[in-house]
Chain A
Amino acid sequence: MSGHDNRSPEAELGLLDATMIGMGAMIGAGIFVLTGLAAEIAGPAALLVFVLNGVVTAFTGLSYAELASAIPKSGGGYAFVREIFDDLPSFLMGWMLWFAYMIAGALYALGFAPNFLELLHVYELVPPPEQIGSIAVPVVDAGVSAGFGLAFGAVLLLVALNAASTAASGSVETIFTATKVSILVVFVAFGATSPMFSGAEFQPLFSAGSGPSAVLPAMGLTFIAFEGYDLITTVTEEVENPRQNIPKAIFASLAVTILVYVTVVTVAIGTLGAQGLAEAGEAGIAEAATEFMPTGLPIIQNGGALIVFGAVFSTLTALNAVVIASSRVAFSMGREGQLLPRFGQLHHRYGTPFVAILASGVVMLGSVALPTQSAGNMSSLFFLLSFIVVNGAVIKLRRERPSMNRPYEVPYYPIPPLMGIGLNLLLTVVLVVFLVRTDPMALVLSVGWMLLGGVAYVALDRVRAMQGADTEPTSTTMTSQERD
């Protein structure tokens, strides 16, 4: 009888570990990659952008906490929605979430590259990043952007690692996160005490051209910065006393992350100025650090290198997290019969969801060709959409299954989920309008992905109908209206 028990991992993650998993994903790359981009759009109000995004996300955090406490499954958002919604909506949710994670992977890879170049630059192994336009690859006889090559290579490496070996456990994540946070604390401590910060300039708060109206698009773009606490719900099985610890971990990780973002962004704007931060782009924090960190230290020589190392380390670990997260969504969809069954199978030798990882890897590799900003736009867009669905799921579940046991209940229901839907919807609309003006390609690709999903859904339905009943050509009519 006890022979089956080894299937479920021992409950070994405490509240701290669970919190660290959420923080690890959020503090991962967003802070390093997106600060510069937010400053570019909103100026010093980038500070406001991160605070408001944290608040907006908190509403969805409440919904996640309720769902995770009521539905004891480790699959995260897709698993909850699959429990609650019919085939088509849950398919679309999985399809969107899968894409969001994959594009996030591309974003982190693209954030990794310039920071890595910056790290090499600090040790004067390569010329300053702005001078590396492209490197010639003799074999291919074509110029390949160094950044693109690095991002591509990073994705390839982590996809291969995860395809060939099972993922590292949550306790490793705690060490990773602690490392990242410590590095940021060093950054804040040195930055806040540096002479550059004493002359900090936060006025005018809003950038000259667009004023406060730039805050909303910047929020949409950087919304993905607060994606990650949902990863806590993918490991609930391993958390001790999950019905109390999961909600706590969600809120704790959100609160600490907002605090970290606010202090780090304050220091970055204070030292480098919004203008300088914007110009540094994905390597904004790293560049700020090299400005004020002490030099001539033993071993690492330049104190700024520590921060740059933090950025490289964070983007890589975040990339790793989303490689795992995206393949888990595809794997769950395969298990549920919502993708080809092959996606839901483990590899006979490696024991990994091989096909799911490979498929995710292919999309990520393709997405690395995108501009960083487009990748951020698209993953934010899809996270916004999927968060709307998560809030909707809470409402639907409350209405349809009132007697379901909910160890954690959203307070002041139904205001928080409605606020979540409203605010996420607002940001979605703002982001879409913003994309129409500035980045139509991202929009076209997003719509394309959804259309592809529609085709995949219908095709899969046909395949199943053909396999299921050879005698009767079963009803495919009912599924043909999802295009609109």
Chain B
Amino acid sequence: MTGNLDVIIAGGGRVGFQTAALLANRGDNVTIIERDGDTVEDLADAWVATVIAGDATDPTILEQADVAGADVVAGLTGLTGLNLAVCMAATEMNPDVRTVARVEREAGDAYTRFVDAVVFPERAGAKVAADEITGSDIRTLVDVTASLDIMQIRVEEDAPAARKDLSEVRFPAGTLVISDEDGERVARSDTTLTPGKSYVVAVEPEVVDEVLNLMRG
């Protein structure tokens, strides 16, 4: 209801730290539990979160992070087992708390018996890496939804849809062009697909190839 969440993050390594920084920028209250002394120093310098120095699996440490008053507990260390343990211990202390665990491989719904959500940061990282490898022509913007991709696609010179109005192009069902060429306006039926310009498109995975074909040739 109030905009800000009380979040506890176990593990202040790269994933935990970046997550904490993003949340802190959004105004959430973040507490990081970190075992390694050097990392604790780095976190303190970065000034994004309250830091509890200690082992997140130690119940007294979890208590010091105030699980009882937290909205979310996220286990973001590199160890799936430890993350799950932290989440389950937290649920034990505060049944209302939402739990998120970082996992090491894609596991589907297997873990959701124990935690509310799992994250697989390597996959999100891989998407970014793939985007960079293909250059700036195609870019996955966000990974918010279950399978829907929101991508930024640059129209190629010789592509089928180049220089056409949106009303003239028949995109496959499951496609929605969102922005116009400069990203200033929402696309309308008279928006022209200008070569060299990028458009934001929401697209279902099974038709991504078709859309890329139309816009990239």
Contact = CB atoms under 8 A, between A and B. Distances in A.
B3 A335 contact: yes
B4 A335 contact: yes
Interface in A55-101: 69-73, 83
B53 A404 contact: yes
Given A7-B25, A405-B53, A344 B3 contact: yes
Interface in A388-421: 400-405, 407
Nearest to B4: A335
A243 B3 contact: no
B83 to A, nearest CB: 20
Interface string B52-68: 11100000010011100
A242 B4 CA distance: 23
Interface stretch (B39-47, B88-96, B107-115): B39-47
A249 to B, nearest CB: 14
A72 B25 contact: no
Most buried by B among A4, A336, A402, A403: A403
B29 interface: yes
A1 B40 CA distance: 24
A279 interface: no
A403 B44 CA distance: 14
A129 interface: no
Contacts of A344: 2-3
B2 A404 contact: no
Contacts of B26: 4, 7
A400 B65 CA distance: 10
Interface residues of A, number: 28
B64 A72 contact: no
A250 B61 CA distance: 30
B50 interface: yes
A336 B47 contact: no
A337 interface: yes
A72 B128 contact: no
A403 B25 contact: no
A405 B27 contact: no
Nearest to A8: B25
A89 to B, nearest CB: 14
B2 A407 contact: no
B22 interface: yes
A335 to B, nearest CB: 6
Interface in A1-56: 1, 4-5, 7-8
Given A344-B3, A404-B52, A242 B40 contact: no
B45 A243 contact: yes
B24 interface: yes
A242 B50 contact: no
B64 A400 contact: yes
Contact of B2 (A1, A71, A337, A401): A337
Question: For chain B, which range describes its interface: under 10, 10 to 19, 20 to 34, or 35 or more residues?
Answer: 20 to 34
Dominant secondary structure of chain B at its interface with chain A? mixed
Given A8-B24, A335-B4, A403-B64, A236 B47 contact: yes
A35 to B, nearest CB: 38
Interface string B1-37: 1111000000000000000001011110100000000
Given A8-B25, A335-B2, A405 B47 contact: no
B103 interface: no
Interface in A330-369: 335-337, 341, 344
Given A344-B3, A404-B53, A237 B47 contact: yes
Contacts of A213: none
A472 to B, nearest CB: 16
B24 A405 contact: no
Given A1-B128, A4-B25, A72 B61 contact: no
A148 to B, nearest CB: 39
Contacts of A236: 47
Nearest to B33: A403
B72 to A, nearest CB: 16
Nearest to B60: A403
A241 interface: yes
Nearest to A239: B47
Contact of B53 (A335, A336, A403): A403
Given A72-B50, A236-B47, A404-B52, A335 B1 contact: no
Given A71-B50, A72-B47, 11 more contacts: A4-B25, A73-B29, A236-B47, A243-B45, A336-B4, A344-B3, A401-B64, A404-B64, A405-B40, A405-B50, A405-B53
19 contacts: A4-B22, A71-B50, A72-B24, A72-B47, A72-B49, A83-B50, A241-B45, A242-B47, A243-B44, A243-B47, A335-B4, A401-B52, A401-B65, A403-B54, A403-B61, A403-B64, A404-B51, A405-B40, A405-B51
Interface of A: 1, 4-5, 7-8, 69-73, 83, 236-237, 241-243, 335-337, 341, 344, 400-405, 407
List the 5 closest pairs (A to B, CB-CB), nearest first.
A405-B51, A7-B25, A401-B64, A403-B54, A72-B47
